[in-house]
Amino acid sequence: MHPNVIKCSMEDLFDVGCARHVARISMRKANIHKAKVTPVERVVFRFFMLTKEVQNIASKLNVKKAIALDDWTTMIQEAYALKEQGKVAYVQLYIPTKQSFVLIMQYQWMLNMCMCLSKNNAWAIDSTFKTNVFGLPLYVVVAPNEQGVGIPLWYMLCTNDAGSHHEQLALEMTRKKIFQRMKGVRPNALVIDTYDD
């Protein structure tokens, strides 16, 4: 199997999580992978993965995490892996009593939509809880497209230690980081519901 196929399948595992689905994706991408290599490599290597092979990779990843890492560290590692793939705009490590954990998720497509839909428009910011085992609040920002459908512009996870103002600080940091990425484009208003600190 070509190393690029394995790498691509590992990235798909983070996104999809289902070995059978990843195997199907791998078969669909086989010709794309094959077109990017030399004629010799086309003869030597296989360019798709079977379900069992994907399951083996998933199992090895889980075993590695189980041996040395707790759940929190694993989440940080996944955040950095997604950052390398261009799916995370910013990660701030958690230091208890000193600094909050902040994870800002924004794909390139989301950034494009952010630039396109923000001018002469407002952002709606909302949070939800109990979406993850750590109990971290998840914030999402949407703006309406031409049909009035809300399009996600970015997501943010942060810690919310009692009396720490983590959410307020994380939202302010996220706003600044996203505005830096938007290069001068700004929404008309930010609409957010209140939250208890």
Please, where are the H alpha helices in 36-151? 39-44, 51-68, 71-84, 108-118
Q: Above 70 in pLDDT, residue 17?
A: no
Residues spanned by the domain of 20: 3-68
Q: Is residue 77 part of a domain?
A: no
Among 4-18, 112-126, 165-179, name the one with the lowest average pLDDT.
4-18
pTM above 0.85, yes or no: no
Same domain membership, residue 186 and residue 92? yes
Same domain membership, residue 170 and residue 88? yes
Q: Which domain-ending residue is among 68, 92, 123?
A: 68
Q: How many helices (H) and strands (E) does the chain have?
A: 7, 6
Q: Is residue 79 part of a domain?
A: no
Structural domain total, the chain:
2
Per-residue confidence (pLDDT) for residue 157, from 0 to 100: 92
Which is more confident, 103 or 165? 103
The residue ranges of DSSP E strands in the chain, in sequence order, are 88-92, 102-105, 122-128, 138-144, 150-158, 189-192
Same domain membership, residue 180 and residue 93? yes
46, 1 contact by CB (below 8 A)? yes
Q: Which domain-ending residue is among 68, 102, 121?
A: 68
109, 100 contact by CB (below 8 A)? no
Which is more confident, 18 or 170? 170
Same domain membership, residue 96 and residue 62? no
Task: Determine the average pLDDT of the residues in 90-106.
Answer: 87
